[in-house]
Amino acid sequence: MKTFKIHASALILDFGHFLFEFGSFIPKPLKYLCIVQKQEPKKTIQMKKLKSTFIVWIAIYPAITGILLLFGEYLNHLPLLIRTLILTLVLVPLMVYFLIPFWTKVFSKVK
């Protein structure tokens, strides 16, 4: 039986042989397509998490500060639960749809 391997950017496709990848064992002959995802190095994953953390922080800190600066005296008269509800109703969509995509695009240009 012939073995065909196709190397894609993140996948190894293997037909017809034993497959020892990340401790998995798939017996011969394979009658189906096996897809095994390559693992990224630990350092790369840690850098992506650090970059994501920084992007979220750099987006949320000025947003919270600006909202509190502009509307803080009005919000201070409200109970804590209502104040928190109003802040999250404004900040979550602002973060998800505008700030995070903007800063992600900015930092994707920086290597």
Q: How many Å apart are CA 62 and CA 84, to the nearest integer?
A: 17
**What average pLDDT does range 87-94 have in this prediction?**
95
Print burial letters for 14-41: b (CB count within 10 Å at least 16), e (below 16).
Answer: bbebebeeeeeeeeeebeeebebeeeee
Name the pTM for this structure. 0.56
Percent pLDDT > 90 in the chain is: 49
pLDDT (tens digit, 9 = 90+) per residue, 33-84?
A: 556 566 667 777 777 888 899 999 999 999 999 999 999 999 999 999 999 9
Query: In this structure, what are the phi and psi dihedrals at residue 96, rounded to the nearest 5 degrees?
Result: -70, -40
